[in-house]
Every structure is written in C-alpha cells, then in structure tokens.
Amino acid sequence: MASRRATPDAVWAALSHPARRGIVDALRSDPVATGALHERLEREGLSPSRFATQRHLQVLREADLVLVTQRGRERLNALNASALYQATIGWLDPASARTAHALDSLKRLAEAPTAKEQRMTEFHITQAIDIAAEPARVWAALIEEPAAWWGAPYLLLDGPSAFELPLQCGAPVVERLGEAAALWGHVSAVTPGSVYAWIGQMGMGAGAWGEVRYELEATEAGTRVTVTHDSALLWADDAAGARSSYDYGWADLNARLKALVETGARHGTAGTNAEPEFAFNPSS
C-alpha cells in the first residue's frame, strides 16, 4: 500500500487534475460514497468511467486529502481538511490566516441563500485636522508612538494594549496585551512621511470590511492630517449608527494625536487612556 504523504508537493500534484478538484469540492460539506461521487463527476464530464474515478480517489488518498470513513455498512470518502489547510493557509502567519478566514467568511455570508433579505451597506468618513508641527514629527507620533494616542474605548483587548503599525505593505496591524494579540487589519499603502493605510475588519466583526487611510500634508501652520475610512457592512441593521460611532471615534483619536504632538499629553493606553476635550464636528 502506498504511504500517505501529507506534503505541499503531494497536495498540489493531487489537485492538478480538474476531476480531483471536483472530488474535493464535492466533499466540502459531507462524506460521499464512491458511487455518488462518480455519478457527479460523470454528469460534469470530469470522469469517463468508474475505474477513472477510483484512480483519482486513490491519488487523493495517497496525498492524505481524502480519508475513508465507515457509516454503518457504507464506506464513505471524507475530505481531510487538515492536509489542505497545511498546504495552503497553513503557510501564513496566524494573523494573516485569521484575515484570510475572515475574508472567506464574508464571501460565504454574501453568497449564501438566506430567508433574510441580503443587503450590503457602506459608509464613507473623511476628517481633517491641523497640527502645529512639521510632518516628520506628526509621522513619528503616528507610527512610532501609537500607544500614546490610541486607547479606550477603541480596543479589541481588555487592558493597556500596545499597537504595532509596521511600514511594510501586507504586514499585520496588531494590538497586543501580554501573550494575547488582536488583528486590526493589514497594511495596504505606505509612503513614508505622508501616507499610511490598512485594510481589515476594524473591530466590526466578520460581516464588515474597510480601509483606513492617513494622509499628511505640509502647511504654513504645520501639518494637515486627513483620515478617510471606507467600510462595507453586510446586513447592517443600523448602518447610520455604525457610521456615527466611527465618525466620533476617529475625531477622538485625531484629537489625541494632536494633543500628543502639540503638548505631549498622552491620552492612549500608555497614558490616561481617556479622550481629551475637543469639539466634535460630524463629517458630511
């Protein structure tokens, strides 16, 4: 009997044939008997004979992608999701894997039939604030000192978290507290000194996705910081409320960033962890 090789090479080789990909697709929900598998492949024009189907199944079993299970007197073929995971998403770091899973969940939510009417709502927030300092100083505070201006209640972890805003596109934007970590998204754009953006769920759950972008522009008085937040929410019962909440939240965080740069006041998790006094003007 051939030994099973749950290796990426074996998995990718096994998936190189459309009939075997069809088998994997058929097994995604439940184990299926060989006869039923062959009937499906035959209908789809993927396998000309039962012998060919058996041969494709054998290749998948040798790659450890398909396991044989017993249900009463019936022998069923079951997908070994672990082998598939290790050959694909298993290569990703944990934060990236969670993002991939969230994107897949959002896709399945959007495509799945439901008794509830499906709808996708969007919101767009744009805010600007003037800070009396050169762009280099504002950029340093934004990227290098996030814990000094980002704080409660805009946290995913319960405690004085630290934030990581890496300068590499695709890198995770992470909130950390001891051994715990929470993912805010992944860096989508970086122009050192002027642009920083990331995409992710932004604390809104699996049914939401968006991008936040900071843009810094030199002015005669210092630096103008523009923040945009574009998001899409699936089945949002209170989209206006969500937008209003995030609108206020970004205004609060902008005020904290301004206070840090101009006065040295630390209102983030590495400081008072409370909002400063500021005038809130809702964005249009």
pLDDT tens sequence across 158-172: 888 888 999 998 888
CATH 1.10.287.610 assigned to 8-91: no
Burial of 276 (0-12, 13-18, 19+ CB in 10 A): middle
- The domain spans of the chain are 8-91, 120-263
Q: How would residue 10 be classed by pLDDT, with cut points 50, 70 and 90? A: confident
The CA angle 167-253-266, to the nearest 5 degrees, is 90
Phi/psi for 55 (5° steps) reads -65, -40
pLDDT for position 9: 81
pLDDT in tens, 176-217: 888 888 888 889 999 999 999 998 877 665 556 789 999 999
Question: 3.30.530.20, 3.40.50.720, 3.40.50.2300, 2.60.40.10: which CATH number matches 120-263?
Answer: 3.30.530.20
pLDDT in tens, 44-80: 999 999 999 999 999 998 888 888 876 667 778 888 7
